Structure 1
Amino acid sequence: MDAQTLVDERGELWLALAPLWLEREPGERDYAQMLEVIERHTLTVNELEWVFRIELAPVLARYQMSMVGEWRSFDDYKLMKQLVAHNLRLKGWRRKSWALFSGLTTMMTRHRWNELIGRLMVERGETPP
């Protein structure tokens, strides 16, 4: 897969989910926008979990660990370049290692993710976990 295909297929979804890693808690509008974008991408909850753990968390967790405070907001262009670069390298052992360590990279946002997935399941008429 090339960079443009990644941006076309995932860019909107990645940018919509990025606020899960911001310093502030997402508000109702944030969650509503995330749900709207998720529904346009028609991914299952399981597929979304892997987007969260493997495609996003390894890049965005670095913002949370930063002492600089860069995670108050994102430069969408810079963030997209980082996400594309990460995902282009995400093959073989890299994918497996990120899967193995994804618990660490998602730890600080897991409560927000669970909230989002609960809302998504309610919207889809499914039973939340």
Structure 2
Amino acid sequence: MNAQQLVDERGELWLALAPLWLDKEPGERGYAHMVAVIEAHEMTLQELEWMFRLEMAPVMSRHQMSVASEWRKFDDRKLMQQLVTHNIKLTGWRRKSWALFSGLTTMMVRHRWNELMGRVMVARGELPH
């Protein structure tokens, strides 16, 4: 997949979910926006989980660990470039490595992700497990 395809297929979703990694908890409006964008992309919960773990967390966790990072907002253009670059390279051993370490890259925002997935399930009329 080329860069433009990634932006077209995932860009809106990545930018909508990026606030999960900011220093403050998303509010009701933030979660509602994320749910709406997720629903527009028609992904299964399993597809969303892998997108979260492999496509986003490796890039976003680096922002979280950076002392110099701005934690109130992201530069959307720069963030999109980083996500696209990461995902173009996400094949073979890189994909397997990120899958192996995804627990570490997601642990600081897992509670927010679980909250979001619960809201997605409610929006879809599914009962959370």
TM-score (norm. length: structure 2): 0.98
Q: How does 1:26-65 map to 2 (within 5 A)?
A: 26-65=26-65
Structure 2 unaligned residues grouped into runs of 5+: none
Q: Percent identity?
A: 73
Q: Distance in 1 between matches of 2:51 and 2:29?
A: 21
Per-residue deviation, 1:70: 2.0
Give deviations 1:29-80, integer Å, cap 9, x for gaps. Answer: 1000000000000000000000100000000001111112422210000000
Q: How many aligned positions are there?
A: 129
Once the two structures are TM-superposed, the CA of residue 114 in structure 1 deviates from its matched residue by: 0.1
TM-score using structure 1 length: 0.98
Q: CA-to-partner distance for each residue in 1:65-107, whole Å, 9 max, x for gaps? A: 1112422210000000000000000000000000000000000
* C-alpha separation in 2, matches of 1:87 and 1:68: 24
Name the CA distance, whole Å, in 2 between partners of 1:69 and 1:80: 16
Aligned to 2:90: 90
Q: RMSD of the TM alignment (CA)?
A: 0.6
- 1:87 aligns to what SS in structure 2? helix
The answer for unaligned runs of 5 or more in structure 1 is: none
Partner of 2:100: 100
